[in-house]
Amino acid sequence: MSVPIVIGLSAVIVALRDGEACVLTVRPRDTRTDQTSTLEGLPFGPFDPQGQRTFDLALRDYVTRQTRFELGYVEQLYTFGDKGRDAPLADVGAGAARVISVGYLALAPTALDTHAPDTNWSPWSRFFPWEDWRAGRPELIDTQIRPALEGWAERSNSRRDRVRLLFALDGAPWNEERVLERYELLYEAGLAPEAARDRHRALGGAPAEPRAFTPALGEPMISDHRRILATGLGRLRGKLKYRPVIFELMGEAFTLSALQRTVEAVSGVALHKQNFRRVVERTSLVEGLGRMDEETGGRPAELFRFRREILNARPAPGLSLSLLRE
């Protein structure tokens, strides 16, 4: 076994900031020049096979040390091992190692106020602008993405079908969960700057250099981090519907409107107000506190709390937020 394996743990840490669903990003410093990277990446740490007992503990430990807060909800996403799409070797100080990425999803309540150096809360829409349908169908899909994909798609029927289904062209409905498939399609079609960079490195080129990118196609990230982010966002969007994970993003007390805006920010679609309330109330996941919110214009709203105890008491804490499109 000549080539050693290095396992990199990457975390998609999601929290709400100013009403937007954000992800914690870092700009790693180049060890030689001490310059921070122009591209953002996910919090990342190598797994120590000697000392660390589980991935889970290693990840929590790593994040706590780097950002000074403790992760609550954590779940494993996927393990990426494709050659040619691995993390930059420099990151982990390994010479000719094969780097395997284990991605994790973590959710944090809004309260936390971490600002370790070189970290930032970035709205995910910066990386996937086409995923935000809250204000209706994003124009850039038809003005930019569709034309850019035309040449690639017309090479086969299956490509055409994929583009149509994933980007909701020609009347196909939008499916907000397929974030990863959309990103992978753009990567395959060469429209993600990461693709060009990976090809370049495969040919023995120099380390990744940031280059101009089309804003409509989203900002690229370091190594395979945008791929992991897409996996995390898709997983979260799916999970909302059958597990009450959304409450991991809320504070102790919240209004139903705030809850709805959070679901909308994550899922990227607008919801029908009245029906959203009914669904939430029917599942009895929340409980009114009697207290009122101190306003932002209009009638004061009642504050609610998540009845966390039902997680142990009830069979399937189903939320089944059957996304009620407006």
Residues in the site for DNA, rule: CB under 7 A? 255-257, 272-275, 277-279, 282, 292, 295-302, 320, 322, 324-326
Residues 79, 8: Cα–Cα separation, whole Å: 10
For residue 50, state whether it binds a copy of itself (rule: CB under 8 A).
yes
Closest alpha carbon to 177 in 125, 221, 131: 131
Q: Given the DSSP bridges, would you call strands 20-26 and 119-123 parallel, antiparallel or unpaired?
A: antiparallel
First to last CA, the chain: 57
Please give the DSSP secondary-structure letter assigned to residue 90. Answer: G
Give the x-and-dash track for 187-226 against a copy of itself (CB under 8 A).
----------------------------------------
Rank residues 161 and 326 by Cβ distance to DNA and give the closer one.
326
**DSSP-assigned states of every residue in 196-247:** HHHHHHHTT-PSP------GGG---BSTTHHHHHHHHHHHHHHHTTTS-GGG
Both structure tokens of 249: 């993003």
Rank residues 153 and 259 by Cβ distance to DNA and give the closer one.
259
Please tell me the count of residues contacting a copy of itself according to CB under 8 A: 39
Among 102, 145, 228, 259, binds a copy of itself (CB under 8 A): 102
Q: Whole-number minimum distance, CB 49 to a copy of itself, in Å? A: 4
| Residues of span 129-168 touching a copy of itself by CB under 8 A | 157-158, 161-162, 165
CB 14 within 8 A of CB 249: yes
For residue 6, state whether it binds a copy of itself (rule: CB under 8 A).
yes
Report the interface residues with a copy of itself, using CB under 8 A: 1-7, 47, 49-50, 52-55, 76, 78-79, 81-84, 94, 97-98, 100, 102, 157-158, 161-162, 165, 172-173, 175, 312-316
